Amino acid sequence: MNDSSMLFRLISVGITAYLLGSISPSYLLGKMLKGIDIREHGSHNAGTANAISTIGFLPGLVTMILDIGKGALSAWIGMRLAGKTGMQIGTVAVVAGHNFPILMHFRGGKGIAAFIGASLISFPAAVAAYLLFSWIGIILSHYIAIGTLVAFTLLPFTGLWLTHGDISWFLTLLAVSFLILLKHRPNFTAIRNRTEQKFYFKKRFETLLKRN
């Protein structure tokens, strides 16, 4: 395959993954089930957690599955069309599309479910590392955003270590981490102002049971 053909494939992967990421299940379900724009309610985020709290557990679960699915599909398309580099571009592009969807005036979600889905195809160990680091951060701080900050600060360096110095994975995870942490800025501000709600696993589970 010549260089121009590969470049065309990589650009195609990036555009396709971005457009897939731009499809927002939580927004569509909010419109269909409640007639609302989910971004104007709850945490104002077009993602799983806000879908659960705003339109219900089952729609939230569907949102999570579809967001993970579009991430996985994007990485798979990238792999089929352009190998490892295609997977990496697909992973970054689907998160970018989810977080900054052109069809929703660039007001999307926070990208974690899309990242998980893409990484299950492209780099499964990154999912395990994310879950480990985020849970440690949440348990120690009782803030989900702190867990996210810990996970995505460490993830690029963990990826570099797991791949024995593969700089392409470091750059991929660095780009994803930037996109995700960028969308968590309001949470970090709220933590500084002591207005962010703390998270307790037992209390959240009991709340979900009562609600459903």
User: Is 106 buried (19+), middle (13-18) or exposed (0-12) by CB count in 10 A?
Assistant: exposed
What confidence score (pLDDT) does residue 69 get? 98
Of residues 129, 138, 155, the one with CA closest to residue 201: 138
* Alpha carbon distances (Å) from 199 to 2, 144, 152: 52, 7, 19
How many Cα atoms sit within 13 Å of 56 on the Cβ side? Answer: 9
Q: Report d(CA 79, CA 76) in Å as an integer.
A: 5
What confidence score (pLDDT) does residue 209 get? 47
- Ranges of each domain in the chain: 3-211
Per-residue pLDDT of the chain (212 residues; tens, 9 = 90+): 677 899 999 999 999 999 999 999 999 999 999 999 999 988 888 988 899 989 999 999 999 999 999 999 999 999 999 999 999 999 999 999 999 999 899 999 999 999 999 999 999 999 999 999 999 999 999 899 999 999 999 999 999 999 999 999 999 999 999 999 999 999 999 999 988 888 775 555 555 545 55
Q: Report d(CA 4, CA 48) in Å as an integer.
A: 39
Q: Are 184 and 149 in contact (CB under 8 A)?
A: yes
